[in-house]
Structure 1
Amino acid sequence: MNQISIKKGHNINIQGCPRPEILSIPLPQKVSICPNQFRGVKPKLIVKEGDEVKIGSPLFFDKLKPQVKWPSPGSGKVTEIKFGKRRVIERIEISRDDNQFIKLKTYTREEIKGLDRKKIIDHILEANLFPLIRQRPFNKVASPIQIPRDIFISGYNSAPLAVDLSTLINTDKNIFQIGLTVLSRLTKGAVFLSLDKHMDFDDVFTQKISGPHPAGNVGIQIHHTKPLRPGDIVWSVDAQHVLTLGRLFKFGNYDPKIIVTIGGSGSTKPITVETVSGASIESLISSQIIEKPVRIISGNILTGMKVSLKDYLGFYDSSVSILNDEVKRPFLGMLSLGSSKSKYSLFNAFLSFGNELFDFTTSQNGELRAMVPLNAWEKVLPMNILPNPLYRAILAKDIEEMEKLGIWECDDEDFALCSFACPSKIDLGAVIREGLDLMELEG
């Protein structure tokens, strides 16, 4: 097994780490899927309000790739289709009243090995599960007509308050193996699986990865395994979605089951639960006693999206983070001495005893200010990329310079920790996304 040791990065010591035991909670009465969350997709509705759907029924498709459709995570009635400005489809809401699903053909692992790539692609498309597969560069839904150089799977989630993927994989090891075998038939290259613990699987190259966040990000693993070059396309699949593909081929239906962590400094009961994709936020945090202002985030605290109780879990999210939103600004705070309990430092600026957990709030501790090159970005970015010159090239819209500096390997989630560490409060991840959008627009 290949070893990858990441030195740069930082594990955020936040209060409210979820308990690892998986709890069963009542399934949500409503589920939803949000078409506007999918990058580069132009959605076209297949259903209308009042339609009855089953688990796995197609809800909408991409006008640019009409064969790629999105599945219903619940069985019941389409109760609301919410539109935003310029008729952008923001949400398709389903009231669950049954557990009916679309039944497809089943395959054994040996039968999967005998299938050609087209039959496997067609089966995934028929189940409306192709959006589980994303491509790099651009980190968007993959195209079924493209053949990826390689496929990457991260079995290690290093993000704050994340699900323990190793335990999850080990629990459903046989199903995970079927999912890996399915993916191995989709590329002429290799399937790379990165794990933080030793496990053996067939049909893939396994590698053990260690180090602080963002070591678990698939973009970091691609960079340290087989970097992207201009013209390369690789695919990535979340570990929980590998299990979803495995269940599809073994049992013949889409199982929207997902394991989700609920935690953070604003959480009164940090837990790990089993629910379904697109579950309502209200159903997930019903056990929390919230008596003060909090911010709820679908996803992790670095890359997630702010949501309310009326919103739903994101399609690719497996965490709900709760942060204290009660911000108190101390007078002349930057001049006070502070301590490890009152101020958080990535670079050991305060005396502390062990890895103390910090009560984070939503405060940025300052506003956007002039850029000061103190190597704060470089200290937490484990890539052979110069973030400062790349940032300047993106602002200047210098396509050639951006390409020379390695933007093809970048994604905003890999630079989220740089935004957190930045003394100038620059959202570097958002700027990287602007650069990627510009590169895609220019072709």
Structure 2
Amino acid sequence: MRSLLIDLRPLREHPAWRRLWFGTTLNTLGGLIGDVAVLFLVWEWTRSTAVVGALALARAAPAIALVLVGGQIADRMDRRRLVLVCTWAQILLTAGLAVQAALDFRSIPLLFGLVAVRAAFASIAAPARRTFTPNLLGPSMLPAGVALDVIAFQIGLLAGPAIGGVIAGAWGVAWCLAIDALTYLGSLYGVLGLPSMRPEPSDEAPGWRRAIAGAKHVMKTPVLRGAFVTDLAATILVMPVSLFPAVNDLRFGGRPETLGLFMSAVAVGGVLASLLSGRSSRSRRPGRVMLVAAACWALGLLGFGLADVLWLALLGLAVAGAADTLSVTSRGTIVQLQTPDSLRGRVTALDHLVGATGPDVGNMRGGFVASLTSVPFALVSGPVACLAVLGVVAWRNPSVRRYTPPGAD
């Protein structure tokens, strides 16, 4: 039974990583509280769904444009210093959003500008930040560290929006953004306690070859190639969030309470899977775990698409959320262990780009397919296509199934 529970050794045995984890967890919670505030502000000021949708673009565009730049920078300078500089910039920009909300200065261009620039600094820092865990924990504890990182996000996703809604209703959205800015101090606390994080020296010549070295490493390493294809299939072909409102109207009466349950069910499944991730994080076959979990993600969402009873639909989403957590943990382990430190910034930048943009593309695909055919067809066809792709990966890329982490027996 004990082997099923999440592996807490990194928190017990690595004080520097423990400070980093608690600081990052606090910052994640604050960020999700702030996200609710920004969404509320945009809706209150405009009453336009188009403008609310454009807010997502303001966040996504810098991520797409700059995350690969961040990967190159992370492989050339002290990663700790890079994250500290970007974190201070995010604190100032978030404080600017809080002041704008407190003054009720209804300038959408200003708000979007602050959001976009903050997202740009987050994207630049993301590849460097993701190298901290493998460098601090080493191969033996890396899977446990990745699982703990995932549960930190799941806890924030489960609690942050609800807390933000309560604070916004009781004291106003400016307080949500002020709390968001303050929680960045937790992130600073964690990063300040780290040693210097300079990348391993590399004899690569500067220029375009250096820029694409991360992509070349992924393409020539079969297990990494399979991990990236698995993630793209699971997000682009199956992501269901854009179809939630339509499913709610068609099958469950269209109540907003029911719509909220859909997202909560995914988060509950993710938290439970994280708490019981001990065996999977200790697995000597993370590639096999990744493939099985991705298949369970697709099957859970297929069940959601076929269900016409609410509890069955929520069960399908919870299964999908749990499977997604295990798949993300296993894939993160593979990506970090199969990448030399001199390339880690650029490869993790690609991983972050896929993870950040794949769900958005998947949601666009779902809405587009539903508009051309029907909502039920969009719900069922995506998981079926994903399962087919996963079958091809398992068949044509046996290195994924057989992958054993370095140092495993």
TM-score of Structure 1 vs Structure 2, range by shorter chain: under 0.3
Could you tell me the TM-score, scaled by structure 2's length? 0.27
Higher helix share: 2
Higher strand share: 1
Larger radius of gyration: 1
Q: Which has the higher contact order (CA 8 A, sep 6+)?
A: 2
